[in-house]
Amino acid sequence: MGNFINNLLDNLISTTWRLMDLPLYFLLLLIILLLIVFNRFGLKWLKRLSDQKRLYINAILVLLMLLFIIDIKFSFMKAELTGLNEKIRNSQFNGSSVVGGTPFDLKEFKNRFPESDIKEKSVHEAVQLMVVKQKDPNSVVYIVRIDLRHPDAQIQISPEKKEKYLTSKFAKAHKCMIAINGEAGESMAMDCDLGEWSGNWVSKGKPVMMVDTDKRPFMGFNKQNKGTYYEESFVDTKYNDNYYNAIWGRFDILKKGKVLTHERDRPYARTVMGLSKDGTQLYLMIVDGKRPDHSIGLTYNDCARMLKLLGAEDAMACDQGGSSCMYVKNMGGIINRPADSEGIERPIYSHFGVSF
């Protein structure tokens, strides 16, 4: 009896999945047919009801069946999209790497994250990219290390505050090899204020905004591209050449090699920037999140630990969530899966990139 019931359930489930593969118009016709049969050969109590009550019951049944079908269809679409993104990511990394790139030293990293699936690629002789996929927590992480000593390296930061626009548009306009999001402000609205999420913003010696506070860290790069990390407690609102290029973040997460603890830290989509102790190696990290079928994200703590294992001395968390995205020129553009609108990048005010 037990085997019979199990087989029956398996067959019912299998039949349901196969039905969900049918076109939506066919499923709607099937619903209409079921309703006709239900009303024609329905129970006696149904026939005793008034026409109005029968109409209400039919309407409720149609709504419930439609919701069920739509929910299953969306689940299929999400699963297919996740699989497609996985295939695209694999194909991107299976391509040839640039000659002369320096691989990450992953010995300690693999010891700390032994179950992670790591793919690595040189996208430029000064730019190394890796993707880390984990099952616990379910996460997909993109990390780029850029050697700022390369003679052709040029830091690119949005030159003015104007209406929000896409990171990919910024990257193409400034011929960036790599680019990530900066700050979107207090909300998703196109004309929202930066509000409390303001800091020091300088592009090629031109101050766009110098409103640093003891709540905002920032990174400054001199004319030779050497980077310096300025933690939250450091405050300076006057320009100098150590800030020939400067971009601000929201929080310290790694300071002088120490991983910091944040209250209510939870897995989320993240954008993180880090620097080596000597200021020559820049780390850019994007974490996909808010998608249980793809990646729920990482905590600040996990982000800081990963970057420390790869050689970062300091790191700051930047605007995150739906804003988080990474552009790589020779891999087709935005390579991660932003959290908004099934992977569509969000317009923002400031952007950061490196060109060669």
Residues paired with 113 in a beta bridge: none
In this structure, the chain runs to a length of 356
pTM of the model: 0.78
Residues 161 and 285 in one domain: yes
Residues 118 and 263 in one domain: yes
Tokens 């600040």: give the residue.
300
Residues 160 and 68 in one domain: no
Query: How far is the C-alpha of 309 from the C-alpha of 12, rounded, in Å?
Result: 50
Domain boundary among 52, 85, 118: 85
- Cβ neighbors of 227 (< 8 A, separation 6 or more) are 148, 219, 220, 221, 275, 279, 280, 282
Q: Could you tell me if 262 and 300 are in contact, meaning their C-beta atoms sit under 8 angstroms apart? A: yes
Domain boundary among 57, 85, 113: 85
For residues 40-62, average pLDDT? 69
Residues 159 and 232 in one domain: yes
Residues 199 and 309 in one domain: yes
Question: pLDDT value at position 219?
Answer: 98
- The count of structural domains within the chain is 2
> To the nearest whole number, what is the mean pLDDT of the chain?
87
Task: Check whether 96 has a pLDDT greater than 70.
Answer: no
Q: If you ran DSSP here, which 8-state letter would residue 261 be given? A: P
Which of 54-63, 71-80, 188-197, 293-302 shows the lowest mean pLDDT across its residues? 71-80
User: Which tokens hold the place of 34?
Assistant: 């079921």
Answer yes or no: is 91 within a domain: no
> For residue 18, what are the domain limits?
2-85
Query: How far is the C-alpha of 319 from the C-alpha of 312, rounded, in Å?
Result: 19
Q: If you ran DSSP here, which 8-state letter would residue 321 be given? A: G
Task: Check whether 281 has a pLDDT greater than 80.
Answer: yes
Q: Which of 42-56, 73-87, 339-353 tops mean pLDDT?
A: 339-353
- CA distances from residue 325 to 182, 216, 270, 322, 338 in whole angstroms, order as listed: 9, 21, 9, 8, 6
Confidence of residue 342 (pLDDT cuts 50, 70, 90): low
Confidence of residue 2 (pLDDT cuts 50, 70, 90): very low
User: Which tokens hold the place of 278?
Assistant: 């000597």
Confidence of residue 145 (pLDDT cuts 50, 70, 90): very high
For residues 217-239, average pLDDT? 98
Answer yes or no: is 94 within a domain: no
> Rounded to an integer, what is the distance from CA 182 to the centroid of its chain?
13
Question: pLDDT value at position 340?
Answer: 77
Task: Check whether 127 has a pLDDT greater than 60.
Answer: yes
For residues 128-157, average pLDDT? 96
Q: What is the pLDDT of residues 238-266, one digit of tens each?
A: 999 999 999 999 999 999 999 999 998 99
For residues 96-125, average pLDDT? 90
For residues 296-323, average pLDDT? 97
Question: For residues 306, 310, 314 and 318, what is the CA-based torsion angle, rounded to 10 degrees?
Answer: -50
Residue among 146, 165, 150, 188 nearest 285 (CA): 146
